[in-house]
Chains A and B, each alone.
Chain A
Amino acid sequence: MALVFAGLCGHGPGFTGRAELADPEPRDALYAGFERLRLALEDAKPDALVVVAAEHFANFFMDNMPAFAIGMADSYEGPIEDPDWLKIEPTSVPGNKDLSRRIVSAVMQDVDVAYAEEWKFDHGIAVPLHFLTPRYDLPVVPANINCQGPPLPPLHRCWAFGEALRRVIDAVPERIALLGTGGISHWPATPDSGKINEAWDREFLERVLNHRRDELLAYTDEDVYRDAGQGGFEMRTYVAVAGATQGAEGELWFYEPIPVFAVGATIAAMNLG
């Protein structure tokens, strides 16, 4: 039927796992941002949520690394992380195999996407779902862009992946919500964890929210690595959502560096009109 919702958010494992270590003021503001996004998602009455994620070696590894992958199952397990560490209990999240199959088949017309009938969530999807679908009652279609193990798919392909997703979302009878989730500049899981390039993040978000395609595709991996760290490669998820939402007006709902969460925590939405 249509794309009924498009949002962007971070997925730092610290959002849930290290809550008590964070400065309460920005932390609670982030949680309020997630709550606003949850209400907007519910208001859109979606039949399914397509999550464009940047998983962290929960399913895909350098033995056979897909540039793009889409889950094709009726349920997904996760998160894989220790529940005492992530503070999210492992659970089963509903999928929609039939919808996935239609999405995969259509996306393949434009982008060679891998499909996976088994998929374990990690914090990259589990943290956003914890805030946005806390009852795990909305079927999820996970989509992944390799943002971790270089060589990584070029940005123009991520944009094309977003465009391909949009074409099929517009064609299926279901009401579809789309979520892109990644950290922007960050140096996660390293001794520099907590470092954040706020100026870079804000400039990047401007380009995403205004769908400035040429300026987005102009970033090189070398630029991103230097200015935004290896974690910045997850920008790909935002580029895909920008490609999927051309013509919509983007709005930044929340951005605040929270060092113990390792990112400038971000919440944004595309006004689909």
Chain B
Amino acid sequence: MSLYYVQKLLYQLNRDPHVRKRYDSELDELLTEYDLTAEEIQAIKALDLGLLYVIGVNGQILMHFSALHGIAWPDYIEALRQGLKKYGPVREGVYAETGYQGIAAHDEALRARRAATSQGKT
């Protein structure tokens, strides 16, 4: 387990154009500079956001990493869901699954409440 170094690499990648250049042109060499397991290297190289999430990468780091690759928001969230399904619960870090109805159902409930409130006013 070397979550710290996975996060360190992604943190530097997200903020530093120089690291970004090396990520594009000499990824293998870049990866040797961090203390990573084979699974972590695999997750980074395959852009497996679900596995990175399960390994415990902070979502704020992972979200920026995902944005760097032009991945749309709903696809990013779906990749994390698939990761949990495939690899099991988050192993380390700050995340627990808490259960959520999802944005569509939530939006619907809020719209219904707004409609009820405005009806009450008239």
* Contact across chains for B100 and A195 when beta carbons are under 8 A apart: yes
Given the known A-B contacts A58-B15, A194-B102, are A148 and B58 also in contact in the complex, defined by CB atoms under 8 Å?
yes
Cα A62 to Cα B8 in complex, Å, equals 8
* Contact across chains for B14 and A230 when beta carbons are under 8 A apart: no
Given the known A-B contacts A81-B67, A190-B59, A230-B94, are A17 and B73 also in contact in the complex, defined by CB atoms under 8 Å?
yes
Q: Which residues of A contact B84 (CB under 8 A)?
A: 191
* Contact across chains for B60 and A56 when beta carbons are under 8 A apart: yes
Given the known A-B contacts A57-B60, A189-B62, A260-B103, are A80 and B14 also in contact in the complex, defined by CB atoms under 8 Å?
yes
Closest Cβ neighbor of A62 among chain B residues: B4
Q: Within the complex, what minimum Cβ distance (angstroms) separates A5 from chain B? A: 28
* Contact across chains for B98 and A189 when beta carbons are under 8 A apart: no
Q: Say yes or no: is A120 at the interface (Cβ < 8 Å to chain B).
A: yes
Given the known A-B contacts A191-B84, A230-B95, are A56 and B64 also in contact in the complex, defined by CB atoms under 8 Å?
yes
- Identify which of B74, B95, B103, B106 gathers the most chain A CB atoms within 10 Å of its CB: B103
* Contact across chains for B98 and A14 when beta carbons are under 8 A apart: no
B47-74 contacts to A, CB under 8 A, are 53, 58-64, 67-68, 70, 73-74
* Contact across chains for A14 and B14 when beta carbons are under 8 A apart: no
Q: Which residues of B contact A56 (CB under 8 A)?
A: 60-61, 64
| The one of B7, B14, B62, B97 that contacts A62, using a Cβ cutoff of 8 Å | B7
Q: Which residues of A contact B111 (CB under 8 A)?
A: 23
Closest Cβ neighbor of B104 among chain A residues: A259
Number of A-B pairs, beta carbon distance below 8 Å? 96
Cα A154 to Cα B12 in complex, Å, equals 27
Q: Within the complex, what minimum Cβ distance (angstroms) separates A249 from chain B? A: 26
Q: Which residues of B contact A85 (CB under 8 A)?
A: 67, 70
Q: Within the complex, what minimum Cβ distance (angstroms) separates A14 from chain B? A: 7
Q: Say yes or no: is A220 at the interface (Cβ < 8 Å to chain B).
A: no
Further contacts, 20 of them, CB under 8 A, given A14-B73, A80-B14, A190-B80? A23-B110, A25-B114, A57-B14, A57-B60, A58-B14, A61-B8, A62-B4, A81-B67, A120-B15, A150-B94, A188-B59, A189-B60, A190-B53, A191-B81, A191-B100, A192-B98, A195-B98, A257-B106, A259-B107, A260-B103
Interface residues of B (CB under 8 A from A): 4, 7-8, 11, 14-15, 53, 58-64, 67-68, 70, 73-74, 77, 80-81, 84, 94-95, 97-100, 102-103, 106-107, 110-111, 114
